[in-house]
């Protein structure tokens, strides 16, 4: 007999179910429009400003008081929101989520034409952990920025509107796949084969033109966007599945979409902070949205960057008469964190990789993971029992439906989060996020019930 878990849909009231459906609609809208970390930052900033948040550098000139709502963006790909408490040196309550998602990035020199095949392509380099064969045979969109030689920033978004063209990566037809199907899944489609079809029209060019399809496409890009081939060297363009998130099932209880990992926790983080109770908190409340988690949290917009610490220093130095390094260390060291990231929900198609009784179950609420890691908890934060008890109390007092879950069986594999990076400051940290299926697939699957309880959990933490 295993510990019985509460099923969210069974136990919540009709009124709560309405709120759950409203929240799911809002989340699906976010998931459908925040297709890249840059787009997520834009939406988070817009919603924060509407809720009265001010940009930190501007706020530093005007002065900062307890109760103030402040945000700061890092290089358009990372953002942090603060509700400033009575005394920063008491420590902060931080929910840390990430807004980057596994996908395909265009190479710096992406355009290629196969004259024999009569097709033009964009070359890609995949980002994060993906099963490469997942990315074939899907309608794809392009999102990103390109800088022209004269310094103009061009935003590129193609493939989401119904009448937009989409892009495509072809796979070998089944009829000729006898050899391919004998390969290991890892090599069925290889990295260099993830080339995106972008056209096949060579009309209007004479025979002497070397790459006529490419020439036509470049002429189109010049006319529509003012960009030239060498501008792609100063660009970040991401290839993602085209189209919006969708409800799944006759009962519409699930959501399929690109980037649940980790936008399901990121949206819950945003809404959790914006919907917290009014009033000046004792401890500063922080919603952190970082980039680069999927490639190890490195880089200036990842969690290992000092950006967050410097932002806290800026707030401290604005509020106090004299800035002290000791105050900063106390603010950081006395903080507690929910490392807001997704986990694997039990998948009945693959029971062999799960210990059922220690698995996150779909529809049974937010999942607390004491540890992640691999090979004997390697690289894991492994939260303190004392801190787990503290979080349980917060969740229980607010009626949050939660469960514990390990990321699969011992030695079945593993994964990491940003938890250990914040723990370095001596913060109390625990991994706490949404269980889901098909993690890191181009389109992932999650339960509306778990999305909603994730939001309620983060809100309870911000209200505590």
Structure tokens at 462: 């911000």
453 binds Mn ion (CB under 5 A): no
311, with CB counted inside 10 A (0-12, 13-18, 19+), is buried
Q: Closer to Mn ion at the Cβ: 113 or 261? A: 261
**Spatial separation of the C-alpha atoms in residues 451 and 255, rounded to whole Å:** 9
Q: Closer to Mn ion at the Cβ: 314 or 341? A: 341
**Residue ranges in 174-213 that form contacts with Mn ion under rule CB under 5 A:** none
**Spatial separation of the C-alpha atoms in residues 297 and 422, rounded to whole Å:** 11
**Residue ranges in 23-52 that form contacts with Mn ion under rule CB under 5 A:** none
Give the CB-nearest residue to Mn ion. Answer: 262
DSSP state of 443: S
Instruction: Number of residues interacting with Mn ion: please give it, by CB under 5 A.
Output: 3
What track of x and - describes contact with Mn ion for positions 146 through 165 (by CB under 5 A)?
A: --------------------
**Nearest distance in Å: CB 166, Mn ion:** 25
**Spatial separation of the C-alpha atoms in residues 245 and 25, rounded to whole Å:** 10
DSSP state of 206: -
Task: Give the interface segment with Mn ion, choosing from 146-154, 166-174, 213-221, 339-347 (CB under 5 A).
Answer: 339-347
**Nearest distance in Å: CB 186, Mn ion:** 18
Task: Give the interface segment with Mn ion, choosing from 154-162, 204-212, 312-320, 338-346 (CB under 5 A).
Answer: 338-346
**Spatial separation of the C-alpha atoms in residues 350 and 358, rounded to whole Å:** 15
**Nearest distance in Å: CB 362, Mn ion:** 17
**Spatial separation of the C-alpha atoms in residues 215 and 222, rounded to whole Å:** 10
**Nearest distance in Å: CB 82, Mn ion:** 23
**Spatial separation of the C-alpha atoms in residues 359 and 403, rounded to whole Å:** 9
Q: Closer to Mn ion at the Cβ: 284 or 369? A: 369
Count the residues in the chain. 464
Q: Closer to Mn ion at the Cβ: 91 or 259? A: 259
**Residue ranges in 247-266 that form contacts with Mn ion under rule CB under 5 A:** 261-262
Q: Closer to Mn ion at the Cβ: 262 or 314? A: 262
Q: Closer to Mn ion at the Cβ: 141 or 418? A: 418
**Nearest distance in Å: CB 415, Mn ion:** 7
The sign one gets for the Cα dihedral 448, 453, 458, 460 is: positive
Q: Closer to Mn ion at the Cβ: 341 or 450? A: 341
368 bridge partner residues: 404, 432
Task: Give the interface segment with Mn ion, choosing from 130-138, 334-342, 367-375, 418-426 (CB under 5 A).
Answer: 334-342
DSSP state of 47: H
- DSSP letters, 331-357, are HHHT-EEEE---EEBP-TT-GGG--GG
What track of x and - describes contact with Mn ion for positions 61 through 80 (by CB under 5 A)?
A: --------------------
Distance of CA 77 to the CA centre of its chain: 11
Rg (alpha carbons) of the chain, rounded to whole number = 23
Answer yes or no: are the C-beta atoms of 450 and 402 closer than 8 Å: no
**Nearest distance in Å: CB 405, Mn ion:** 14
Answer yes or no: are the C-beta atoms of 379 and 433 closer than 8 Å: no
Q: Closer to Mn ion at the Cβ: 123 or 440? A: 440
**Nearest distance in Å: CB 378, Mn ion:** 17
**Nearest distance in Å: CB 434, Mn ion:** 10
Q: Closer to Mn ion at the Cβ: 138 or 264? A: 264
Q: Closer to Mn ion at the Cβ: 327 or 341? A: 341
Q: Regarding beta strands 103-114 and 235-241, do their DSSP bridges make them parallel or antiparallel, or are they unpaired?
A: antiparallel
**Nearest distance in Å: CB 446, Mn ion:** 12
**Spatial separation of the C-alpha atoms in residues 133 and 112, rounded to whole Å:** 21
Answer yes or no: are the C-beta atoms of 253 and 449 closer than 8 Å: yes
Using CB under 5 A, pick the residue from 231, 341, 431, 444 that binds Mn ion.
Answer: 341
Q: Which residues bind Mn ion (CB under 5 A)?
A: 261-262, 341
């Amino acid at each position: 007999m295993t510990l019985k878990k509460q099923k969210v849909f069974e136990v919540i009231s009709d009124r709560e179910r309405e709120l759950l459906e409203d929240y799911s609609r809002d989340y699906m809208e976010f998931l459908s429009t925040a297709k890249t970390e840059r787009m997520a930052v834009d939406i988070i900033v817009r919603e924060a400003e509407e809720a009265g948040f001010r940009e930190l550098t501007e706020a530093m000139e005007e002065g900062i008081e307890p109760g103030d709502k402040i945000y700061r963006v890092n290089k358009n790909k990372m953002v942090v929101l603060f509700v400033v408490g009575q005394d920063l040196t008491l420590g902060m309550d931080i929910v840390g989520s990430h807004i980057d998602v596994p996908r395909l990035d265009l190479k710096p020199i992406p355009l290629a034409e196969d004259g024999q095949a009569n097709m033009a392509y964009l070359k890609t380099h995949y980002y994060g952990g993906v099963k490469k064969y997942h990315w074939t045979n899907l309608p794809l969109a392009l999102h990103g920025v390109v800088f022209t030689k004269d310094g103009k920033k061009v935003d590129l978004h193609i493939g989401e509107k119904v009448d937009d063209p989409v892009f495509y990566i072809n796979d070998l037809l089944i009829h000729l796949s006898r050899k391919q199907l004998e390969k290991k899944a890892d090599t069925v489609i290889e990295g260099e084969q993830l080339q995106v079809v972008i056209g096949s029209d060579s009309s209007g060019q004479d025979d002497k033109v070397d790459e006529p399809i490419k020439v036509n496409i470049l002429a189109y890009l010049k006319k529509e966007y003012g960009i030239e081939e060498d501008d792609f060297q100063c660009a970040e363009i991401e290839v993602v599945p085209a189209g919006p998130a969708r409800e799944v099932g006759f009962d519409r209880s699930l959501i399929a979409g690109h980037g649940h990992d980790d936008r399901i926790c990121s949206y819950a983080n945003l809404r959790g902070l914006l919907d917290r109770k009014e009033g000046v908190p004792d401890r500063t409340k922080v919603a952190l949205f970082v980039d680069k988690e999927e490639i190890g949290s490195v880089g200036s917009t990842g969690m290992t960057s000092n950006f967050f610490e410097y932002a806290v220093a800026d707030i401290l130095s604005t509020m106090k008469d004299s800035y002290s390094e000791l105050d900063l260390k106390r603010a950081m060291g006395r903080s507690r964190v929910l490392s807001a990231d997704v986990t694997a929900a039990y998948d009945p198609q693959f029971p062999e990789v799960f210990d059922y009784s220690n698995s996150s179950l779909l529809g049974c609420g937010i999942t607390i993971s004491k540890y992640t890691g691999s090979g004997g908890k390697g690289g894991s934060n492994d939260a303190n029992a004392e801190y787990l008890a503290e979080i349980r109390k917060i969740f229980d007092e607010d009626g949050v439906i939660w469960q514990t879950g390990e990321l699969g069986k011992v030695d079945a594999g593993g994964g990491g989060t940003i938890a250990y990076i914040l723990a370095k400051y001596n913060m109390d940290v625990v991994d706490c996020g949404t269980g889901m299926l098909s993690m890191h697939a181009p389109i992932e699957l999650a339960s509306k019930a778990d999305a909603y309880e994730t939001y309620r959990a983060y809100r309870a933490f911000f209200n505590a």
